Amino acid sequence: MTTLIRGGTVIDADNTYRADVLCADPQDGGTILEIGADLEPPAGAAIVDAGGQYVMPGGIDPHTHMELPFMGTTASDDFYTGTAAGLSGGTTCIIDFVIPSPKQSLMGAFREWRGWAEKASADYGFSCCRHVVGRFGVSRMGTLVHEHGVSSFKHFMAYKNAIMADDEVLVNSFSRSLELGASPTVHAENGELVFQLQRQLMAKGFTGPEAHPLSRPPEVEGEAANRAIRIA
């Protein structure tokens, strides 16, 4: 049935105002049909009293890592607990990052993430990370875009000996993204410089969390950001 959300404070992209919101039947897409003051509900419509409440679009979190296995750790939230927590704060959709292990294929990782996400309590999409892009990997990018709705590919310029993408990967993946109409995104840190600084700090006995920012001074990001932009 249609639903009339009555008497709430509507928050949209550029304004805040008191209004009613009429929504279509979920079976017809659940789209917003009308926003206005004192709307007349259609026969049989459900009425939701939103007096004293905010009425706003569901939020989209475009960068999540649910139950991510990463360099010996695993993220504490899985797709159920993470999306349930998001829903409680108004986040109704997430974009999670599929990050293959060094020896895992892109499609293998994608299928694994899809299996984990079956228990999600909110909508979700995926961005896929590229650290090896051979001829086979490039073809799989097309499969992900055309058959699975993936619209962006992530490139880590850091994490040497794990998932670091070199310049060849960036060139090939950026070029294929352009052909596909997908968006390439970048984690911009010079992985070699980070690796060398980590070794120096560990040799001096700096092994705690305080060493993390010390191994990543601004120049490390600046060089990588500039290089990614020039390649693009």
pLDDT digit string, tens, across residues 85-95: 999 989 999 99
**Domain end call among 55, 80, 96:** 55
* Residue 166, both tokens: 């070199």
Check residue 120 and report its DSSP letter: -
Instruction: Specify whether 71 is located in the same domain as 140.
Output: yes
Reported as a pLDDT band with limits 50, 70 and 90, residue 183 is very high
Contact 20, 62 (CB under 8 A): no
Query: Residue 8's domain spans which residues?
Result: 3-55
* Residue 49, both tokens: 């009293």
Q: What is the DSSP string of 62-85?
A: EEE-TT-EETTEE-S--HHHHHHH
Spatial separation of the C-alpha atoms in residues 221 and 41, rounded to whole Å: 55
Instruction: Specify whether 50 is located in the same domain as 67.
Output: no
pLDDT value of residue 159 = 92
Instruction: Specify whether 37 is located in the same domain as 123.
Output: no
Instruction: Specify whether 64 is located in the same domain as 31.
Output: no
For the cut 80, the answer to whether the pLDDT of residue 113 exceeds it is yes
For residue 180, the domain's CATH number is 3.20.20.140
pLDDT value of residue 196 = 97
Instruction: Specify whether 159 is located in the same domain as 212.
Output: yes
Nearest Cα residue to 61 out of 9, 107, 108, 120: 120
For the cut 90, the answer to whether the pLDDT of residue 70 exceeds it is no
Instruction: Specify whether 11 is located in the same domain as 121.
Output: no
Instruction: Specify whether 165 is located in the same domain as 223.
Output: yes
How many independent structural domains does the chain possess? 2
**Of 151 and 132, the one with more pLDDT:** 151
Cα 80 to Cα 112, 118, 120, 212: the distances in Å are 15, 9, 4, 30
